[in-house]
Amino acid sequence: MKPILRRLVRRICFALLAITIVSIGVWCSIAIWYRCTAGEPVRALLAGAFLIFALAAVACLATPRRWLALAVYATSFALFLAWWATITPTNDRNWAPDVIMSYWAGKAIAHTIISFGFDDGARLAFSIETRKESHEGYSSVAGFFKHMNWRSSRPTSVMSCGCAAMSEARTSGSIV
């Protein structure tokens, strides 16, 4: 390979690696902000520190010790993922009133239902919805960071309007 082409490929690879490291750092920082149970100042400090750590790892890509920096960063990300895996949903929270009541009558229904049709004509439908606590507002961003639990329901019957009547929760978890 020609030296110019080799340098170009190397720079492209370093740029892609840098983008990956920064993207992981941003995601981890936001996840720490939403999921760390410490107070707001501590969460801000930890989230900011992880982002600065990611930027430092990117800066180390230009040094001879780049592999050591990558190993340390990969290890910290693995530790972060280990912490992330310990976050489990719970059903003993102070749920918002609209979570407690399900509204399935009338024309004003706005609910996502995933439906599967089979060759024999049978259908299977599931609903997945977020469960926010009484003090929480809905946030699409927070949902990506296990901030709200979810509830999965299965239909007990299909009403004439084509909407499924849902039974109580069978599965719950965190929105990932």
- Give pLDDT tens digits for 62-92: 899 889 999 999 999 999 999 988 887 666 6
pTM, two decimal places = 0.60
Structure tokens at 39: 């107070």
Query: Do residues 53 and 76 make contact, with C-beta atoms less than 8 angstroms apart?
Result: yes
d(CA 135, CA 112): 24
Confidence of residue 116 (pLDDT cuts 50, 70, 90): confident
Q: Which of 14-18, 48-52, 70-74, 131-135 bottoms out in mean pLDDT, i.e. has the lowest?
A: 131-135
Q: Give the three-class secondary structure for 44.
A: helix
Confidence of residue 161 (pLDDT cuts 50, 70, 90): very low
